Chain A
Amino acid sequence: MKKYLLMLVLILSAALLVTACGGKQNVQDKEGENAGQTANFPVTVKDANGRDITIDQVPQRIVSVTPSNTEILFALGLADQIVGVTSNDDYPAEAKDKEKVGDWNLNAEKIVSLEPDLVVAMQSANGTQIPELEKLGLKVLTVEAQSVEDIYESIRTIGTATGKTAEAEQLISQTQAKLQAVQDKVAAISQENRKRVFMEISTQPLYTVSKGSLQHQILEMAGGINVVQEEQPWMEYNDEAVLRDNPDAIIVTYPGAKLESIAARPGWNQIQAVKDGKIILDIDANILVRPTSRVADGVEAVARFLYPELFQ
């Protein structure tokens, strides 16, 4: 199922990329005619499931039901249009002042009562709830992203749907520039000097990231090498396998982890990362997990941790 979904997302994003590249010229032309914002409505965008979503007017009341989309909406300058977020949405700080519509489990009544003209959702987080929200007559825009390219597409889609195309392109190019700066720094590191990294996203069970996940891509962009190279984005991992992999660095993303308890795991004192104390516990997990423009901060934070000498 996951592979299928991933493939679907990839094909979709490829398709979107093609149409987006083709369409960009048009958008820019229209911007020239009419300084940007309202001219293009109604607009039609493709959602994460490949469906056409038509938005008739510039949305004035937006409810965001995932932290990542809330971040993107704020970054596009839509603070005034956002009328509802979830209690998990903590960035930017202003998001906390917005009305709450539930957590991972959404409160449909609350959403309807806010009378939104657009609900922005994420397939992997709200999948089961989206069709039910649509049945209530809500306009739902669903995005999905498990790679940097997907993130750009999400930003572009949300930007188009909210009349912020120019802001979206700007946000994308800022992110690209930031990422490029980090990648330029780490490019000089030779293959044999690259740090081999293990990313621990949960303990008991021990879960890690691998190919197909945003976190895997972040590790690579930051000049690291993921010691886990499986065809599965997230997976339960055997602790003996970590001993065998012997990573140079360990990134722990869940809260409450303790250095001593990791070092005290049987045999883990043999691991290079533990010997060197190259374990980071206080990295802001949100910049590694949420598919937003802050992914560039995530890549930089990882690069800084792996190669502090490059950032002096």
Chain B
Amino acid sequence: MVAGKEFIGWRARLGIAMLVLCLIWLITVIISIAFGGTSIPATTAWGMLLYKIPYIGPELIEPFWSKTTEIILYQIRLPRLLLGSLVGASLGVAGATFQGLLRNPLADPYTIGVSSGAAVGAVIAILLQGIGQGIGMVPIFALVGAMLTITLVYQLARIGGRVAVETLILSGVIVGSFMTSILSFLLTKSYDNLQQVIYWLMGSLSLRSWEHVVFSFPYLIAGMLIIWFFARDLNALALGEDTAQHLGVEVERVKTLLLFLASLITALAVSVSGTIGFVGLTVPHVVRMVLGPDHRVLIPVSALTGSIFLILADTIARTSIAPSELPVGVVTAFVGAPFFAYLLRAKKKSMSV
């Protein structure tokens, strides 16, 4: 496998990987749609899924399900599944971008402080507009929080007009902790809504509707596509900023733009789902281990892998302790951390041989 990737071109690698992953994604969706807080027979769920295929669906299947089942599947499970898919993809791409940009395997929306910044903005918006007023100002505040954080981190790391990568991570950790302290402060000020806000912070996809999907879809997809468009520049940046400069990359400009975009998709993901950790950190690593570090492959494959990972994690979250449910962030960390540890060990061994 490792030897293989040297010989196969990036287009072929991307093509094969995407094909395989699309299949896995489809299977994940088909399995996950059959599970939920209530039991709907898998055949009914699949029939209903089939029914929604444009043109051919209604030809194939006569609706045989109740109105209630229809609401559960079309208005609860399906949007939740798609939202999980979108958020997972965004976090995967944001993680890959931060890691590539900062040339640091520990970079992800969390470690760089952007998630916490977005969360501070989101919580301020929630407290300002009152609990339960829908999306409202949350994404805008989350975006402002994320941008403020990344700017702060960036400025802090900027020494003599240059941004050193090591300092960037360090200042990310510093600003991130600062943001977390603001969060804690805000929480003590909202005692009567504490439970709801904390639960939201832990990351959850429960009780999200089509509104959330429709709202975040265009921005997230556009953000991810533009990042992919800059994959070659990311590759060049991986060789070092000086080399990239020599290769004709407008380093500072590209860096600023990509930091902005990665923060944007993080902020949007946070505003619809709270802070879900470990997707952005783990997913790009797994992909890189299998397919190599080429960002032209890494970015889209991370998107699909993140998507699959989060759908599966959310399925565990909503079925494991039904009728109650776990915050999905708990599941991603619980599953992600040991898996990540295993990968690190495995990689270390194979490298030392």
**Residue in chain B with minimal CB distance to A100:** B323
Contact flag A128-B191 (CB < 8 Å), given A102-B324, A110-B38, A133-B207: no
Q: How far is the CA of A136 from the CA of B71 in the complex (A)?
A: 7
User: Shortest CB–CB separation between residue B130 and chain A, in angstroms?
Assistant: 7
Assess whether B131 is in contact with A128, with CB atoms less than 8 Å apart: yes
Assess whether B76 is in contact with A108, with CB atoms less than 8 Å apart: yes
Residues of B within 8 A of A254 (CB): none
Per-residue contact bits, chain A 196-237, to B (CB 8 Å; 1 contact, 0 not):
000000000101000000000000000000000000011110
Assess whether B324 is in contact with A127, with CB atoms less than 8 Å apart: no
User: Shortest CB–CB separation between residue A131 and chain B, in angstroms?
Assistant: 5
Assess whether A112 is in contact with B68, with CB atoms less than 8 Å apart: yes
**Residue in chain B with minimal CB distance to A131:** B134
Partner of A132, one of B71, B130, B193, B207: B207
Binds A, one of B112-120, B194-202, B253-261, B341-349: B194-202
Assess whether B323 is in contact with A101, with CB atoms less than 8 Å apart: yes
Partner of A108, one of B126, B127, B199, B207: B207
Q: How many B residues touch A, CB cutoff 8 Å?
A: 37
User: Shortest CB–CB separation between residue B43 and chain A, in angstroms?
Assistant: 17
Contact flag A130-B132 (CB < 8 Å), given A137-B71, A233-B192: yes
User: Shortest CB–CB separation between residue B105 and chain A, in angstroms?
Assistant: 34
**Residue in chain B with minimal CB distance to A142:** B132
Contact flag A205-B190 (CB < 8 Å), given A5-B130, A110-B37, A127-B130: no
User: Shortest CB–CB separation between residue A233 and chain B, in angstroms?
Assistant: 7
Q: How far is the CA of A124 from the CA of B131 in the complex (A)?
A: 8
Q: How far is the CA of A129 from the CA of B200 in the complex (A)?
A: 11
Assess whether B190 is in contact with A135, with CB atoms less than 8 Å apart: no
**Residue in chain B with minimal CB distance to A4:** B130
Partner of A112, one of B76, B208, B324: B76
Residues of A within 8 A of B294 (CB): none
Residues of A within 8 A of B211 (CB): 135
Residues of A within 8 A of B132 (CB): 123, 126-131
User: Shortest CB–CB separation between residue A164 and chain B, in angstroms?
Assistant: 26
Contact flag A107-B325 (CB < 8 Å), given A128-B131, A234-B191: yes
Is B133 close to A, CB under 8 A? yes
**Residue in chain B with minimal CB distance to A5:** B130
B residues 2-43 in Cβ contact with A at 8 Å: 36-38
B residues 67-110 in Cβ contact with A at 8 Å: 68, 71-72, 75-77
Assess whether B192 is in contact with A105, with CB atoms less than 8 Å apart: no
Q: How far is the CA of A113 from the CA of B70 in the complex (A)?
A: 10
Q: How far is the CA of A115 from the CA of B66 in the complex (A)?
A: 11
Interface residues on A, range: 35 or more
Assess whether A2 is in contact with B199, with CB atoms less than 8 Å apart: no
Residues of B within 8 A of A105 (CB): 199, 204, 206, 324-325
Is A184 close to B, CB under 8 A? no
User: Shortest CB–CB separation between residue A256 and chain B, in angstroms?
Assistant: 19
A residues 124-181 in Cβ contact with B at 8 Å: 124-133, 135-137
Is B164 close to A, CB under 8 A? no
Residues of A within 8 A of B68 (CB): 112-113, 115
Partner of B196, one of A5, A128, A132, A133: A128
Residues of A within 8 A of B350 (CB): none
Assess whether B324 is in contact with A87, with CB atoms less than 8 Å apart: yes
Is B188 close to A, CB under 8 A? yes
**Residue in chain A with minimal CB distance to B204:** A105
Is A93 close to B, CB under 8 A? no
Q: How far is the CA of A137 from the CA of B72 in the complex (A)?
A: 11
Residues of B within 8 A of A102 (CB): 37, 323-325
A residues 84-134 in Cβ contact with B at 8 Å: 87, 100-110, 112-113, 115, 123-133
Q: How far is the CA of A87 from the CA of B191 in the complex (A)?
A: 22
Partner of B200, one of A113, A128, A207: A128
Residues of B within 8 A of A137 (CB): 71, 75
Is A1 close to B, CB under 8 A? yes
Q: How far is the CA of A112 from the CA of B70 in the complex (A)?
A: 10
Is B322 close to A, CB under 8 A? yes
A residues 217-265 in Cβ contact with B at 8 Å: 233-236
Assess whether A1 is in contact with B128, with CB atoms less than 8 Å apart: yes
Is B44 close to A, CB under 8 A? no
Contact flag A131-B190 (CB < 8 Å), given A100-B323, A108-B207, A115-B68: no
Most buried by B among A101, A107, A124, A128: A128
User: Shortest CB–CB separation between residue B124 and chain A, in angstroms?
Assistant: 10
Residues of A within 8 A of B72 (CB): 109, 112-113
Q: How far is the CA of A189 from the CA of B132 in the complex (A)?
A: 44
Residues of B within 8 A of A126 (CB): 132
Q: How far is the CA of A136 from the CA of B69 in the complex (A)?
A: 12
**Residue in chain A with minimal CB distance to B199:** A105
Q: How far is the CA of A275 from the CA of B340 in the complex (A)?
A: 55
Assess whether B323 is in contact with A2, with CB atoms less than 8 Å apart: no
A-B pairs, top 9 by smallest CB distance, nearest first, are: A127-B131, A127-B132, A109-B37, A132-B207, A107-B37, A113-B38, A234-B191, A107-B323, A109-B38
A-B CB contact pairs (8 Å), 27 listed: A1-B130, A2-B190, A87-B324, A102-B323, A102-B324, A105-B199, A105-B206, A105-B324, A105-B325, A107-B37, A107-B322, A109-B37, A109-B38, A110-B37, A110-B323, A113-B38, A123-B131, A124-B131, A125-B195, A127-B193, A128-B126, A128-B200, A129-B207, A135-B75, A136-B209, A137-B75, A234-B192
**Given A123-B131, A132-B207, 8 more pairs with CB closer than 8 A:** A2-B190, A102-B323, A107-B318, A112-B71, A115-B68, A124-B131, A234-B191, A236-B188
Q: Which residues of A contact B (CB under 8 A)?
A: 1-2, 5, 87, 100-110, 112-113, 115, 123-133, 135-137, 205, 207, 233-236
